[in-house]
Every structure is written in C-alpha cells, then in structure tokens.
C-alpha cells in the first residue's frame, strides 16, 4: 500500500494542474457546506435565544375569570392571588422555583432631574431574570435574595429605557419620586421573548414594590422539578389553584396556563428547516465539486490508458488498477476536504471578527456539520472515483497498450 | 521440455461482415534459452502472436502452454501473475512512466510482486548497473536519450528474472548506434542463458538472432534455424 501511495503522490504532483482543479472543486464544495451550515447554526442559536422562554420549561400562570359555576359559586368570578397564596406553590414537590410578578403601568418614572421616562414598573423575585433567560449587560448586578429581604431601592432596567434616558449602571432614576440606583441593564437583542414593552421595563425587588403599592401579583412563573413534564405541571397547577380559589379544576378559563410546546415545535422545525435548506444548498455545491473530481478522474483514465496498459503488462491485476484510481480520487478529495475545513474555519473567524448583522447571530461550525460534510464527501469521493477506476480496471491489456500515448 | 508450446492457435476479429484471421492455426515450440525472432511485414500477425505469447491477449481457439501452465484457461489475476514473474516486455516506444525516475520505473514490477522496498531498490539498482545506467538512476525519462530509455525498459523487463523476454521492435525508435548497443545487450542476455523473442519487420535485426519464424497472413510460413551449432538445437535434433 505504501509504495502505491508514493506512486499516487508522485502522479498527482506530476499532473499538478489537474490535481489542483480537482482539489479546488472539493474545497469549494466543503466551504459552501460548512459556511452555509455555520450561518444556519448562528441564525438558529440567536433565534433560539430570542425564544428562550418558549423553549425553556418555565411555566407562566395568570389569574383570569372563571367560566363555570362551581359548588354553589357563580361563573364569571374574577380570580386573584396574594403573594403568600402563590408562595404556597413552593411547598409542592413538582415545583422547583417560583417567581411572582407585580406590574404597574401608571407609575411615574423620571430621571434624577425630573424628566419623564417611558418606563413601567415590575416587581420581581430574585429568580425572575434567570427564569426569563434575560441577559444583562457587562457590569450589571442581578436582583438578589438580599435585595428582596432588605427591600432595596435598586433596579435593573431595559436597554431601550437606558438608551433613551442616557442612563448607565450606578445612575439613579425616580419612581413616584423615590430614587432607585440602577444596578443592571438588559442586553440589547437578547432580552428573552418580548412580552409587552420589555425593553422599557424597570425591574425592582418584589418586596420594594409591595412597600409602594398594595397591588396583587399579576402572574407567577414556575420552574418544574426535574422529570416533571409540562403537561403534568399544568395539571398540578390547575388543581392547586382550583382548590385554593374554589373553581372547577376543568375550568381552563379561570387561570391562563399557556402551553408553548406547539409553538416551540413550530419554531424549532422552522429554524432547523432553514438550516437544512442551507446545508442542502451547500451539499449540492459539494456534489458539483464531486462531479468535477469524477470528470477529472475520467479524463485521467483516458489520458493514462497506455500507462494502465503498461502496468497491466508488467503484472498489475485489475484490482491493483482499481485500488490505485480509487486511492487517487480519494486522496484528491481528502486533500480538498482538509483544506476546505481549514478555509471554512478561517472564513467564519473572519466573518465573526468583521461583525455581522445581529439578526444573523454568530456563525459557528458545529461538529455535526463537519461530520455531515465529511460523510457526504466520503460517499461522493467513492462515487466520483469508483466509475473511472472501474473503467480503468476493466481495460484489456492489449487494447490499453495500443492507446495513443 | 519446451518453454512455450502453441497448438492450433487462432485469433480472429469481426471487421464488419468479414472475419479477419490475425493468427490462423499457429503451432510453435520454443525452448528455454532460445534467441529467436518473429519476422513479418506490417499486418502479418506478428504483433498479435507476441500479444498472445505475452498473455496480453487471449487466443480465440487453440492451446497455449507456458512453462507447464495451460495459459488458455487462466483467470485475469492468474494471467497478471504470469506476466509479472514469467514474462518481461520491451516495447518499441519504451513505455516508461514519465513522472517516475529510471530506478522507480525498474522497481515497478517488483511492487506488484510484493517485494519489500529494500530488496526492490537493490535489485533495480543492480539491473540498471547491468545495462550501464548506474549514473542515471534518478533521471526521469525526459532526461534520457532513446537508447538509455530502452536500456531502462530492458532493466525493467529483467527485474523479475522472467522465463521469457518479449521485445516488440526494440530498435525501431532508435538511431543505428543505440540500436547496435541494444542488439549487443540482447546477445549478452542470450549468452547468459535467457530466452529472448524479438518481434520485428527488420530482416537485419532478425538475422542476428538464432532462429527466424516468418509469419504472413497469420500463418507461420517458415521456421528457420540460423545457428545449428547452438546447444539447444543440437539437443533438439538429437531428440
């Protein structure tokens, strides 16, 4: 095998231009597959982050109005919970974490000089930012358990509000005239799923919120214990709320427990579909590259018919000839693949350094993409080399020898 | 014991509506150590006979025995093995690999014979030295003269110690000086006891061998022994 490999390297070097063209065709194909798939992966990841709440297992629960009478109580009763009532959920074994949410739309939000800002207030627990997968800008500090216990007057604000008010971390803003220190700002484009004007929100500790207003929480967010499915969790929550507030456990209008699983499925299918489309486009280019290799291999067999005749005359078997041409094709494709993968990594690195639009995300070459490209290449290389190799191996020595040199 | 035995060998091709007999009922015996020529004009069937003798082509009918093997029944791979270790070819146009050095060209049959690199290199170097090209081992064919190329081809033909050396118009592409050198080399090989079969249309080259088989229209028309003093023919006449 080693002498054969040496001969092949020698032959490829002897026909530099032809080899270079074949390798270029493969490099082009590999780069197309990997770069397109990397762009698809970046697009998937940025969008998956945008829809992170949908894709997480966090469950929202919002009190609404009953639609059925229950045990002597009429329908159309408005349901509401106090914070201690929601907190009882923390004792449920199916639940890992609970975060209540207060909301105030009509509070006065101003900067320290008294200019009105378009912000609204949300009173949240220390889990809230993590549960909502909200990313904070560098230097930010999350609302902590300590802040809740101490009723701290600190706030984490939306990036748009910060931009509009020219606010930075450490600055102050006023809520109904009371100063709050800004400890954090949400990161642009990565604020989690947008629910309302979140980029203008002013998050304050829930305990501080209840000091200012006597409102009830508008919703609760729940993270299930490990192994608890969304279906089981929603069923448990509904029966818990029904027993607390005395409504029919089958009355789905009393509490809104949104099920995002179908949306998640739709979004992931859509995003993966886009990725698949990009990968398939690249694979087509790779197939064209393989056709180039096949073409060049056929040309090689035709040009070297006399050489094949000489080899057969001095003792090569048809299998020797078949293996030689398979290895030649294989080597061209292997060299092309290695260069293609390297070029793809460099291109993606350059793209990331140059900076791409936010909506495209950060392209990344995944191991899966490389493995897919490699497996497609192996199959195409075998196909591209096999038919020319078989033609070479089937040549009759005397016919091959009589070919024009 | 004959080295080559052909009995009623026929090779015909269909050319349009007619059958062309390139070989027509050829019977022939060649002994080990013979130096003979197959002589005939262009289209006489001499190259077809060489192809059949060299196992490059199969006869349409007839029996061919080489060194005790019935060659007509062998598979492609078995024929390849026969070509590799029993036959050495020398072609008019040398047929060297252009991208390989003289040494690598000579080593090539040993690659297919599965000989290890060290032995391959030593044997090929020894043969190149034998044909006077020890200082041209790392030269590629385009750096060699016609005579030197043919000597590389002779070294390649000898490298597996074949039973027969088949040469097809070996001096046809050479100038007279190089041609004479190759003829001298053939004489040396004959004196070493090797079996040489030269296919040619050149009567003067044929006259330098010990036996001439004249072929015309695919038939052996004359089988003339030129040197009856040779031990081989003395033995045969005594049989």
Which of A242, A260, A278 is the last residue in one of the domains?
Answer: A260
- What pLDDT, on the 0 to 100 scale, is given for residue A54? 67
> What average pLDDT score do residues B15-34 get?
89
- pLDDT higher than 80, residue A239: yes
- What pLDDT, on the 0 to 100 scale, is given for residue A399? 87
Q: Do B160 and A3 touch (CB under 8 A)?
A: no
Residue in A closest to B54 by C-alpha: A313
**Is residue B221 within 8 angstroms of chain A, CB to CB?**
no
Work out the minimum CA distance from B109 to partner chain A, whole angstroms. Answer: 6
Integer Rg of chain B from CA: 18
Q: Do B80 and A3 touch (CB under 8 A)?
A: no
Domain span holding position A77: 59-260
**Is residue B104 within 8 angstroms of chain A, CB to CB?**
yes
Q: Do B80 and A312 touch (CB under 8 A)?
A: yes
- pLDDT higher than 90, residue A135: no
Are A278 and A321 members of one domain? Answer: yes
Tens of pLDDT, residue by residue over A199-215, are: 899 999 999 999 999 99
**Is residue B85 within 8 angstroms of chain A, CB to CB?**
yes
What residues of B are in contact with residue A319 (Cβ under 8 Å)?
77
> Could you give the C-alpha distances from B187 to A188, B95, B209, B210, B236, in angstroms and in order?
92, 22, 8, 10, 21
CB B30 within 8 Å of CB B195: yes
Q: Do A314 and B51 touch (CB under 8 A)?
A: no
Give A299's pLDDT tier (boundaries 50, 70, 90): confident
- pLDDT higher than 60, residue B124: yes
Give the CA-trace dihedral at B65, B67, B69, B71, to 10 degrees. -50
φ, ψ dihedrals at B195, nearest 5°: -95, 120
* Residue to substitute from B76, B138, B142, B155, interface A, most A β-carbons within 10 A: B76
Chain A residues with a Cβ under 8 Å from any Cβ in chain B: 2-4, 7, 10-11, 13-15, 306-307, 309-320, 396-398, 401, 405
Ranges A189-198, A277-286, B175-184: which has the least confidence: A189-198
- pLDDT higher than 80, residue A189: no
Q: Which of A3, A15, A309 comes nearest B117 by C-beta?
A: A3
CB A224 within 8 Å of CB A233: yes
What residues of B are in contact with residue A10 (Cβ under 8 Å)?
99-100, 104
Are A207 and A279 members of one domain? Answer: no
- pLDDT higher than 90, residue A108: yes
Are A104 and A248 members of one domain? Answer: yes
Are A180 and A86 members of one domain? Answer: yes
- What's the token pair of residue A238? 């509904």
* Residue to substitute from B97, B100, B114, B158, interface A, most A β-carbons within 10 A: B97
- pLDDT higher than 50, residue A309: yes
- pLDDT higher than 80, residue A51: no
Which of A211, A232, A260 is the last residue in one of the domains?
Answer: A260
Helix extents (H) in B71-216: 76-85, 102-113, 117-130, 146-158, 176-191, 203-206
> What average pLDDT score do residues A357-364 get?
85
CB A351 within 8 Å of CB A304: no
Question: What is the percentage of chain B residues whose pLDDT exceeds 90?
Answer: 57
Which helix (H) or strand (E) segment holds residue A268: the answer is: helix A261-303
- What's the token pair of residue A141? 């500090």
Q: What is the rounded average pLDDT for all residues in chain A?
A: 88
DSSP A199: G
3-state DSSP assignment of residue B208 = coil
Strands, E assignment, A31-145 = 59-63, 95-104, 109-111, 120-124
Q: Do B108 and A311 touch (CB under 8 A)?
A: yes
Give B234's pLDDT tier (boundaries 50, 70, 90): low
B53's CB contacts (< 8 A; 6+ apart) are B4, B6, B64, B66, B164, B166, B197
- What's the token pair of residue A318? 């048809």
Q: How far apart are CA A335 and CA A347, in angstroms?
A: 18
The secondary structure of chain A in percent helix, strand, coil, rounded to multiples of 5, reads: 55, 15, 30
Q: How many CA atoms lie within 13 A of A56 on its CB side?
A: 19
Q: Which of A11, A317, A397 comes nearest B77 by C-beta?
A: A317
Q: Do A316 and B97 touch (CB under 8 A)?
A: no
Order of all β-strands in the sheet with A95-104: A109-111, A172-175, A178-185, A154-157, A201-205, A120-124, A95-104, A219-224, A59-63, A255-256
Are A357 and A214 members of one domain? Answer: no
What residues of A are in contact with residue B93 (Cβ under 8 Å)?
405
Question: What is the percentage of chain A residues whose pLDDT exceeds 90?
Answer: 42
Q: Do A313 and B111 touch (CB under 8 A)?
A: no
Q: Do A315 and B83 touch (CB under 8 A)?
A: yes
Residue with token string 């003798």:
B53
| Cα torsion angle, A159, A164, A169, A175, sign | negative
Are A271 and A124 members of one domain? Answer: no
Residue in A closest to B83 by C-alpha: A315
Residue in A closest to B140 by C-alpha: A14
Work out the minimum CA distance from B226 to partner chain A, whole angstroms. Answer: 30
Are A344 and A256 members of one domain? Answer: no
- What pLDDT, on the 0 to 100 scale, is given for residue A297? 84
**Is residue B92 within 8 angstroms of chain A, CB to CB?**
no
Which residue would you say has higher pLDDT here, B153 or A188?
A: B153
Give A374's pLDDT tier (boundaries 50, 70, 90): confident
ipTM entry: 0.91
Tens of pLDDT, residue by residue over B64-103, are: 999 888 888 888 899 999 999 999 999 988 999 988 899 9
Tens of pLDDT, residue by residue over B153-194, are: 999 999 999 989 999 988 888 888 888 888 888 888 898 889
Q: Do B93 and A4 touch (CB under 8 A)?
A: no
- pLDDT higher than 80, residue A82: yes
CB B44 within 8 Å of CB B215: yes
Work out the minimum CA distance from A310 to partner chain B, whole angstroms. Answer: 7
CB A98 within 8 Å of CB A89: yes
Q: How far apart are CA A52 and CA A186, in angstroms?
A: 15
Give B133's pLDDT tier (boundaries 50, 70, 90): very high
Q: Do A314 and B56 touch (CB under 8 A)?
A: no
Are A385 and A239 members of one domain? Answer: no
- What pLDDT, on the 0 to 100 scale, is given for residue B11? 92
Residue in B closest to A13 by C-alpha: B99
Are A110 and A220 members of one domain? Answer: yes
The closest alpha carbon to A40, from A365, A288, A375, A373, belongs to A365
Q: How far apart are CA A388 and CA A376, in angstroms?
A: 19
Question: What is the percentage of chain A residues whose pLDDT exceeds 70?
Answer: 96
- pLDDT higher than 90, residue A284: no
Are A272 and A287 members of one domain? Answer: yes
Are A147 and A35 members of one domain? Answer: no
CB A336 within 8 Å of CB A376: no
3-state DSSP assignment of residue A83 = helix
Which of A260, A294, A314 is the last residue in one of the domains?
Answer: A260
**Is residue B180 within 8 angstroms of chain A, CB to CB?**
no
Would you call A339 exposed, middle or buried from its count of C-beta atoms within 10 A (0-12, 13-18, 19+)?
Answer: middle
Q: Do B54 and A317 touch (CB under 8 A)?
A: no
Order of all β-strands in the sheet with B61-66: B18-30, B4-15, B61-66, B69-70
What residues of B are in contact with residue A13 (Cβ under 8 Å)?
99
Tens of pLDDT, residue by residue over A140-172, are: 999 999 999 999 999 999 999 999 899 999 999
Q: How far is CA A186 from the centre of its chain?
A: 20
Q: How many domains does chain A have?
A: 2
Q: What is the rounded average pLDDT for all residues in chain B?
A: 89
What residues of A are in contact with residue B89 (Cβ under 8 Å)?
313-314
What residues of A are in contact with residue B115 (Cβ under 8 Å)?
none
Are A149 and A165 members of one domain? Answer: yes
Q: Which of A4, A306, A401 comes nearest B56 by C-beta?
A: A401
3-state DSSP assignment of residue A54 = helix
Q: How far apart are CA B172 and CA B91, in angstroms?
A: 9
Give A48's pLDDT tier (boundaries 50, 70, 90): confident
What residues of B are in contact with residue A322 (Cβ under 8 Å)?
none
Residue in B closest to A10 by C-alpha: B99
Which residue would you say has higher pLDDT here, A299 or A348?
A: A348
What residues of B are in contact with residue A312 (Cβ under 8 Å)?
56, 80, 83
Residue in B closest to A16 by C-alpha: B99
Work out the minimum CA distance from A23 to partner chain B, whole angstroms. Answer: 20
- What pLDDT, on the 0 to 100 scale, is given for residue A287? 84
- What's the token pair of residue B155? 């070294």
- What pLDDT, on the 0 to 100 scale, is given for residue A193? 47
Q: Do A3 and B98 touch (CB under 8 A)?
A: no
Residue with token string 């080489």:
B66
Work out the minimum CA distance from A25 to partner chain B, whole angstroms. Answer: 24
Q: Which of A11, A316, A318 comes nearest B99 by C-beta?
A: A11
């Amino acid at each position: 095998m080693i002498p054969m490999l040496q001969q092949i390297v020698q032959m490829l070097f002897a026909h530099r231009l032809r080899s270079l063209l074949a390798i270029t065709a493969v490099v082009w194909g590999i780069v197309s597959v990997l770069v397109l798939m990397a762009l698809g992966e970046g697009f998937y990841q940025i969008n998956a982050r945008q829809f992170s709440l949908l894709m997480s297992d966090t469950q929202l629960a919002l009190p609404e109005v009953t639609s059925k009478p229950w045990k002597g109580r009429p329908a159309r009763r408005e349901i509401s919970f106090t914070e201690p009532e929601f907190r009882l959920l923390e004792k449920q074994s199916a639940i890992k974490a609970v975060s209540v949410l207060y909301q105030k739309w009509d509070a006065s939000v101003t900067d320290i000089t008294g200019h009105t800002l378009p912000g609204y207030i949300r009173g949240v627990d220390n889990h809230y930012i993590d549960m909502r997968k909200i990313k904070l800008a560098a230097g930010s500090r999350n609302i902590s358990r300590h802040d809740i216990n101490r009723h701290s007057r600190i706030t984490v604000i939306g990036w748009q509000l910060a931009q509009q008010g020219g606010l930075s971390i450490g600055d102050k803003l006023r809520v109904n005239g009371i100063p709050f220190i800004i400890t954090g700002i949400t990161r642009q484009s990565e604020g989690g799923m947008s629910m309302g004007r979140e980029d203008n929100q002013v998050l304050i500790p829930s305990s501080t919120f209840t000091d200012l207003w006597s409102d009830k929480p508008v919703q609760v967010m729940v993270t299930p214990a490990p192994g608890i499915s969304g279906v089981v969790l929603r069923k448990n929550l509904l029966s818990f709320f029904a027993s607390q507030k005395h409504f029919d456990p089958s009355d789905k209008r009393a509490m809104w427990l949104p099920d995002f699983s179908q949306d998640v499925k739709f979004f992931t299918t859509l995003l993966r579909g886009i990725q698949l489309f990009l990968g398939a486009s690249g694979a087509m280019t790779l197939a064209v590259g393989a056709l180039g290799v096949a073409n060049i291999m056929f040309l090689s067999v035709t040009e070297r018919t006399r050489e094949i005749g000489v080899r057969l005359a001095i003792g090569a078997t048809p299998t020797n000839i078949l293996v030689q041409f398979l290895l030649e094709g294989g080597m061209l494709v292997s060299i092309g693949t290695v260069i293609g993968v390297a070029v793809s990594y460099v291109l993606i690195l350059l793209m990331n350094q140059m900076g791409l639009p936010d909506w495209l995300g950060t392209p990344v070459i995944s191991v899966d993409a490389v493995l897919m490209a490699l497996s497609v290449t192996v199959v195409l290389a075998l196909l591209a080399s096999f038919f020319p190799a078989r033609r070479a191996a089937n040549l009759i020595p005397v016919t091959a020898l009589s070919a024009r040199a | 014991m004959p080295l080559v035995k052909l009995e009623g060998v026929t090779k015909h091709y269909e050319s349009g509506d007619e059958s062309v007999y390139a070989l027509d009922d050829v019977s022939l015996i060649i002994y080990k150590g013979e130096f003979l020529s197959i002589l005939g004009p262009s289209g006489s069937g001499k190259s077809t006979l060489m192809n059949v003798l060299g196992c490059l082509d199969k006869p349409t009918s007839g029996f061919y025995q080489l060194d005790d093997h019935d060659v007509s029944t062998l598979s492609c791979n078995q024929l390849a093995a026969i070509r590799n270790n029993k036959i050495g070819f020398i072609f008019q146009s040398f047929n060297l690999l252009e991208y390989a050095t003289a040494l690598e060209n000579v080593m090539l049959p040993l690659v297919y014979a599965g000989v290890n690199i060290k032995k391959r290199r030593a044997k090929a170097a020894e043969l190149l030295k034998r044909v006077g090209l020890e200082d041209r081992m790392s030269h590629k064919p385009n750096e060699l003269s016609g005579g030197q190329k043919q000597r590389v081809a002779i070294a390649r033909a000898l490298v597996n110690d074949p039973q027969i050396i088949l040469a097809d118009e070996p001096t046809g592409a050479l100038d007279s000086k190089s041609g004479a050198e190759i003829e001298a080399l053939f004489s040396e090989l004959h004196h070493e006891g090797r079996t040489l079969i030269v296919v040619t249309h050149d009567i003067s080259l044929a006259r330098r061998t010990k036996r001439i088989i004249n072929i015309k229209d695919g038939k052996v028309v004359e089988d003339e022994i030129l040197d009856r003093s040779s031990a081989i023919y003395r033995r045969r006449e005594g049989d």
